[in-house]
Amino acid sequence: MKKAKLLNAEVSQVIASLGHTDSLAIADAGLPIPATSRRIDLALTQGVPSFLQVFSVVTDEMQVERAVLAEEIKRQNPVLHETLIGQLKQLEQQQGNTITLEYVSHQAFKQQTQTTRAVIRSGECSPYANIILFAGVTF
């Protein structure tokens, strides 16, 4: 049995298979998931697991160099946005690198999920609780 925090086999496998600049998305319960992306559905019920819980576990295992958010999160979900920004800053310190943060329209965000290796669906039911993470390297 794995000793690390991440126990979900599908999520662990997709993170292990990422190469430099490959991406994966963490999504709320309502984001449409394109047929071209692998769906990893963790949602059990509203709010379980939360977006931030999934984000925390994924980023414990994944080296991140870039992230994309929908511009709308700033206005429509400011509390989650500020919390997420704080967690990204902590992640930068833990990893010892700068994480480039980009904002795009929600429509453009949905288009970008078409090229992610996977979309991990959380049970989050708050607006625009979605992020695309791009893999960095540890060396």
Question: pLDDT of 34-55, one tens digit each?
Answer: 998 999 999 999 999 999 999 9
Choosing from 5, 7, 16, 20, the catalytic residue is 20
Residue 11 lies in a domain: no
Residue whose pair of structure tokens reads 């994924």 in the numeric block: 58
The structure's pTM equals 0.96
Nearest alpha-carbon partner for 28 in 11, 47, 15, 9 = 47
Within 10 Å of residue 16's Cβ, how many Cβ atoms? 10
- Average pLDDT, integer, range 10-24: 97
**CATH code, domain carrying 40:** 3.40.1650.10
Residue 1 lies in a domain: no
- Average pLDDT, integer, range 115-130: 98
Strands 100-104 and 64-70, how do they pair?
parallel
* pLDDT band of 5, cuts 50, 70, 90: confident
The alpha carbons of the chain give a radius of gyration, in whole angstroms, of: 14
Token pair in block for residue 3? 């000793």
Say if residues 33 and 119 touch (Cβ distance below 8 Å).
Answer: yes
Task: Say yes or no to pLDDT of 3 above 80.
Answer: no
> Of 134 and 139, which is predicted with more confidence?
134
The total number of structural domains in the chain stands at 1
Q: What is residue 2's predicted lDDT score, i.e. its pLDDT?
A: 66
20 is a catalytic site residue: yes
Residue 52 lies in a domain: yes
Domain that holds residue 118: 20-135
Percent of the chain whose predicted confidence (pLDDT) is above 70:
98
Residue 32 lies in a domain: yes
